[in-house]
Amino acid sequence: MNWRNVLLIWRREIRDQLRDRRTLFMVAVLPVLMYPLLGTSLFQLAQFMRQTTGRVAIYGAEELSDVEGLPPLIDGDHFAPELFYDPAERDRLVIEERDALPEERLASAEQAVANGAIDAAICFPADFAEAVEQARDAEGGDPLSATPPQPAVRFNSSREASQVAGLRVASLLRRWSDQVVAGNLRARNVPIAATQPFALDQVDVAPKESRDAMLWSKLLPFIVFLWALTGAFYPAIDLCAGEKERGTLETLLASPARRSEIVGGKLLTVMTFSVFTALLNLASLALTANVLMGQLAGVAGMGLAIAPPPASAMAWLVVAVLPMSALFSALSLACAAYARSTKEGQYYFMPLFLAATPLMLMPTAPGVQLNLGNSLVPVMGLVLLLRSLIEGQLAQAALYIGPVIAVTAICCWLAMRWAVSQFNQESVLFRESERFSPKAQVAAMVRRRGATPTAGAAMACVAGIFLMQTLMRSVMPAPIAGQSGFGYFAGVVVVGQLTTILAPALAVAWLLTRDWRQTLLLRQAPRVGDVLLAAAAALCLHPLGQRMAMWIKDLYPLSDAVEAQLSGFSQLIGEAPPIGVVLLLLAVLPAVCEEIAFRGVILAGLRKSLGDAGGVLMTAVFFGATHTVLQQSLAAAPVGALLGVIALRTGSLLPCVVFHAAYNSLQLLTALNAESIRNVAGEWGLDRVLFVEMPAGQLGYATPIAILGGVVAVALVWALGRRGRGEPQVATRLGTAS
């Protein structure tokens, strides 16, 4: 790559973007104005909240004067001041006494609250005074049999003012009730400690700086990364889709610069605006916080004594925004390159936003901490690492900084490769704008169908699979051990595989391709040697796959509900007919259906858009996602990638089916016969050589055996499809041309 060309393109694009008023408003003007306006509005809103006054009507107030020694509840047109922790809160509730017959008090109060005449009402029953005196003067008898008097509180939760007034009144009545209890105890010379045997001494030992840092550590990364995404997407649209509309992209492509250099220059431009937008937002937020936090804390009763963000938090955010901006910039550039127009490019922002937001918000959830499992999740690991650094937990952050950097770097590299691949496809760069018509689109796909599916047809198959799986869960609930027999379990498995996996694949192969045999890699019979090598590779990979599944469960522990559901499935399988039926149901049938769908239809279509490596990886991701349990998805995705390589090297689906069926069968057989295997291994002296005891009483393979098996499996897969002197067989039968 010629970096001189990259810098020339970068300077050109920066100059063009600085002339665009819309881009400048999004990345410069809006961040500067938004936080001061938001802070000012919050300050005004806080003052408005302090000025709201609730109107409370009391029915039957005369009942209170009939009880001697009762603590005061009403003081003029307000509640008694000793009932408030903050004396200033007393003016927030205004009382008016209303007269009504005892039997009409409750109905009158409910009608007044419902009509909005008052915000809340308190109704004292006609026998309130008598009941209070009886409760105070009662002697002997069952202390739990007496029913205390029950004043009624009514409010309207559909109106905010009424709901707030109702909550305040309920809190005041609880404090008044405590005063009544204390008065009754004093009248009988009973110490208050009899009702309160101990007092809770609860003190938060965290310094105020640490509490403030925890708040900012959850808020700042989300805000900064969200603006980094926004600052990357809009310039990317103008640099790609905008240039298509203006007709200037052809001139740039005709220059001596290579496509990768053009992408590099545009990527640096988008990164520049992304970083600038994020940092400008950060500076504006810090300035607004410094100015307004003190004013908000000065509002009486607000309780907002929060310090502005510390300088160390700002420094860590500046460092972290660079890799995150690189990732978002590459993703935005690839999406914008695919768009036909600026308007279409703006539609792609929402899917990208919806995919990134949960990863940025998840670290703010209670109980989510930085550990090895979370550090391997893209975006989420970086946000959690930032949380630890801002909170001052440097020792914990140092343990996981390596995995976070590695995962972020891999994601950035893959996103950049995707952007470069988009620019290397003329069919993507010069797609003609057209009106969207579902009927016309489907008709065109059927009319212009090729020998193998297109990328759009492959994605239609993926969408059909996920849609059918969702419908399947609503129509046929998962079997439950002790309630569902093996017959129902078998029915769910068979119907699920045939309708959710096989049916969408066959529909796409029949409707959207001309040659279903070529699509499903069934045009020519595979060599016997390839089939045997695939079975042997499955046998060798099994130990590593089992250890990897256990490692994933340790990294991401199963929830109690999922653990119970999987245990129920194991119980149903254990009560099943002969093992052959179980293998056909859970090993052979999924192998056939899933290989037809993923290594047949989906891989053939995705290869046309993403190339061999990209097609294999994306197919593996979709293959893992169809397994509803997260831990199973993570374990299935690497196996799916290896199956994709087998399909490429052999050009046939049968070795993939054999590998898949053999791998599933070995998983089932070892799980169902763990005790027998353990006994045989002990008799032969292999219990500590070949097998080891894993947590929860599971039987696992020794680490050297698992690693050796994985190496041999990769070597066997690499040997597939070789002829003559060892040249790899060219998988022309996948039919990449339409």
According to the model, what pLDDT value does residue 722 have? 58
Q: For residue 723, what is the enclosing H or E element?
A: strand 722-723
In the predicted structure, residue 363 carries a pLDDT above the cut 80: yes
Other Cβ atoms less than 10 A from the Cβ of 735: the count is 23
In the predicted structure, residue 35 carries a pLDDT above the cut 90: no
Q: Are residues 173 and 217 in the same domain?
A: no
Q: Are residues 152 and 232 in the same domain?
A: no
Q: Are residues 390 and 513 in the same domain?
A: no
The answer to whether residue 297 is domain-embedded is yes
Q: Which of 239-243, 413-417, 654-658, 673-677 has the lowest mean pLDDT?
A: 673-677
Q: Which of 128-132, 227-231, 289-293, 655-659 has the lowest mean pLDDT?
A: 289-293
In the predicted structure, residue 185 carries a pLDDT above the cut 80: no
In the predicted structure, residue 622 carries a pLDDT above the cut 70: yes
Q: Are residues 386 and 509 in the same domain?
A: no
Q: Which of 300-304, 446-450, 556-560 has the lowest mean pLDDT?
A: 300-304
In the predicted structure, residue 498 carries a pLDDT above the cut 80: yes
**Residues 360 and 225 sit within 8 Å (Cβ to Cβ):** yes
The answer to whether residue 145 is domain-embedded is yes
Residue 657 binned pLDDT confidence (cut-offs 50, 70, 90): very high
Residue 448: exposure state from Cβ atoms within 10 A (0-12, 13-18, ≥19) = exposed
Q: Strand pairing of 120-123 and 152-155?
A: antiparallel
Q: Which of 58-62, 248-252, 467-471, 652-656 has the lowest mean pLDDT?
A: 248-252
- Rounded CA separation 164/53 (Å): 10
Q: Are residues 290 and 159 in the same domain?
A: no
Mean pLDDT along residues 169-190: 83
Mean pLDDT along residues 11-33: 73
According to the model, what pLDDT value does residue 724 have? 38
**Strongest mean pLDDT among 390-404, 678-692, 696-710:** 390-404
Q: Which of 167, 194, 221 is the last residue of a domain?
A: 194
Q: Are residues 626 and 573 in the same domain?
A: yes
Q: Which of 82, 94, 91, 121 is nearest to 105 (CA)?
A: 121
The answer to whether residue 437 is domain-embedded is no
Q: Are residues 618 and 638 in the same domain?
A: yes
User: 């009504």: which residue's tokens?
Assistant: 100
* Residue 165, SS3 per DSSP: helix
According to the model, what pLDDT value does residue 43 have? 57
According to the model, what pLDDT value does residue 732 have? 41
Domain count, the chain: 3
According to the model, what pLDDT value does residue 18 have? 75
- Rounded CA separation 620/470 (Å): 20
According to the model, what pLDDT value does residue 558 have? 78
CA-to-CA dists, residue 103 to 59, 98, 123, 124, 125, angstroms: 11, 14, 11, 11, 9
Q: Are residues 381 and 496 in the same domain?
A: no
Q: Are residues 61 and 39 in the same domain?
A: no
Answer with the residue of higher pLDDT: 581 or 39: 581
Q: Are residues 125 and 186 in the same domain?
A: yes
| Helices and strands, number each (H, E), in the chain | 32, 10
**Residues 699 and 678 sit within 8 Å (Cβ to Cβ):** yes
Tens digit of pLDDT for each residue in 41-93? 665 555 555 556 889 999 988 878 767 778 888 888 889 888 888 777 788 88
Q: Which of 303-312, 631-640, 661-670 has the lowest mean pLDDT?
A: 303-312
Long-range contacts of 693-701 (CB under 8 A, 24+ apart): 694/550, 695/550, 695/554, 698/550, 698/674, 699/670, 699/674, 700/546, 700/547, 700/550, 701/543, 701/544, 701/546, 701/547
- How wide is the angle at C-alpha 201 spanned by C-alphas 199 and 203, nearest 5°? 160
The answer to whether residue 150 is domain-embedded is yes
Answer with the residue of higher pLDDT: 535 or 246: 535
- What is the residue-wise DSSP string for 631-687? HHHHHHHHHHHHHHHHHHHH--SHHHHHHHHHHHHHHHHHHHTHHHHHHHHHHHT-T
> What is the rounded end-to-end Cα distance, in angstroms, of the chain?
32
- How wide is the angle at C-alpha 31 spanned by C-alphas 26 and 32, nearest 5°? 120
The answer to whether residue 438 is domain-embedded is no
**Residues 453 and 512 sit within 8 Å (Cβ to Cβ):** yes
Q: Are residues 14 and 133 in the same domain?
A: no
Q: Which of 162, 194, 226 is the last residue of a domain?
A: 194
According to the model, what pLDDT value does residue 104 have? 87
Mean pLDDT along residues 320-326: 89
According to the model, what pLDDT value does residue 207 have? 74
Residue 299 binned pLDDT confidence (cut-offs 50, 70, 90): very low
Q: CA Rg, the chain, in Å?
A: 35
Residue 418 binned pLDDT confidence (cut-offs 50, 70, 90): confident
- Rounded CA separation 265/272 (Å): 11
Mean pLDDT along residues 527-551: 90
Tens digit of pLDDT for each residue in 507-521? 998 888 888 888 888
Answer with the residue of higher pLDDT: 636 or 19: 636
Domain of 102: which CATH number? 3.40.190
Average pLDDT, the chain: 80
- Rounded CA separation 339/25 (Å): 23
Number of Cα atoms under 13 Å in the Cβ half of residue 252: 24
Q: Which of 152, 171, 194 is the last residue of a domain?
A: 194
Q: Strand pairing of 78-79 and 74-75?
A: antiparallel
In the predicted structure, residue 731 carries a pLDDT above the cut 50: no
Residue 372 binned pLDDT confidence (cut-offs 50, 70, 90): confident
The answer to whether residue 100 is domain-embedded is yes
According to the model, what pLDDT value does residue 314 have? 83
Residue 440 binned pLDDT confidence (cut-offs 50, 70, 90): low
The answer to whether residue 559 is domain-embedded is yes
Domain encompassing residue 483: 455-734
Mean pLDDT along residues 172-194: 80
**Residues 595 and 449 sit within 8 Å (Cβ to Cβ):** no
Question: At residue 394, what is the residue type?
Answer: L
Mean pLDDT along residues 380-387: 89
Tens digit of pLDDT for each residue in 48-57? 555 568 899 9
In the predicted structure, residue 672 carries a pLDDT above the cut 90: no
In the predicted structure, residue 365 carries a pLDDT above the cut 70: yes
Q: Are residues 379 and 469 in the same domain?
A: no
The answer to whether residue 686 is domain-embedded is yes
Tens digit of pLDDT for each residue in 83-124? 888 777 788 889 998 888 888 888 999 999 999 899 999 998
pTM confidence score: 0.70
% pLDDT > 90, the chain? 16
